Structure 1
Amino acid sequence: MRQVPRLLLTALALAGGLSACGHKDQAAEQASQPTTTATAPPAATETATAPAETSPATAAAPAAAFDITTVPVSTANLGRFPYIAGLKGFSLNTSNSKEYDFERTYVYDGKTLLAIEGKVSRRLFDAERSGENTKAVSELAIDRNFENLLKKLGAVKVWTGTIPKEAVDKIGSDEFYKHHGFGSSDNDASDTYLIRQKNKEVWVQVNSQPGGDYGIDVVEKAVMPKLTTAMPAADLKKN
């Protein structure tokens, strides 16, 4: 076995020791450095928030139609149409009073103007102020006299007051005044009455005017009478 020269062995041992020290220093340096863990940011959690349901605007409920069944049935003898005579001390204004076998009249029930069709009487009465009768009759006296009379006939007062402009605008002023009588007004107070009988529905409106005159409308609900007939073929040939 060949002997390695002592100088060479010494050199090799020195090199090994330096290498080991280098590795230790590197390891110590790495250990002394803070450990940083790259943590991926958490994925943003997207919550799909549905838009808040907005309830549609609540439409104004239409005014409920007047319930005629709430009015007691009257058995009073009404007499002949228009059932209500004029008051003493007043004369009928014939030029402004009309009667129809079939027409439309609007009556106000406190909520809306009701279109009532049937036999219609529209009368205007003027206070008599000639001769000895020079005293004016108050609106209260007119209203109270009709109220007492109508109650005897089984009528119920449905409403009293001035018809609101909004109610007239709803149907149109042209329509209102076209079928307007003297018993109701959108300028001053009126009274609306209903007489309900087994086979009749009669509406009465009274309007006492500041000047002492008054108007009264009566409408008995009915179907339109048949006014036309079909012409026979033989008559068509003649024409």
Structure 2
Amino acid sequence: MGIKYKRVLLKLSGEALQGANSYGIDPEFLRRLAQEIKSVVELGVEVAIVIGGGNIFRGVSGATQGMDRATADYMGMLATVINALALQDALEKEDLQTRVLTAIEMREIAEPYIRRRAIRHLEKGRVVIFGAGTGNPFFTTDTAAALRAAEINADVLLKATKVDGIYTADPEKDKNAKKLDKLSYKEVITNGIKVMDSAAVSLCMENQIPIVVFDVRKPGNLEKVVKGKSIGSLVEGEQL
């Protein structure tokens, strides 16, 4: 079976990197994730990644405890760079060529984000990791993922989560929660479904970038998604 998506933007939450831990980075989860990414790169898929920093520091939570919101957000951006470097190390241990590009310049450890350079790296088969969000406070890494997906002309935005799709309610709290296999962008925004924040969903809608929400912890799921198999939940435009 061939691939459905040639160029993908994978959005990883910082919390995903915790694995079974309550804080920080789980090396075993990173290793397995790197192997999953390698399997799709070997299929010829161009992979870009936006990573969060919630396993280390969340700007919003810092702001609620009295810290200046902009300062807290910048601290959160630095946390994403720590995660980006950890993921880069794991990928390179799997013999993958990688580049970390940051929205906040820090030349000693990463390249500054330049759109054309990012696209060129992808064309050469390198895995590109985008760190530091958008480089601006008050924007989430979900919005950064949608923005970068649009900038690099990604075929799809893959939202990697701990659940196997979008539900009518939190499946861990509500046994009657039903899985929604397909939704439109408008349904997500209008009904306030917490897939990604509304700015991110709106960006995807404007640029017609489908969003697939899937469980990244299950082995083989990433490969199934890029091959177009029906797993997780798909958010796209209205069916004509």
TM-score, normalised to structure 2, is 0.22
Q: Which of the pair has more CA radius of gyration?
A: 1
Larger proportion of helix? 2
Larger strand fraction of residues: 1
- TM-score scaled by structure 1? 0.22
Q: Which has the higher contact order (CA 8 A, sep 6+)?
A: 2
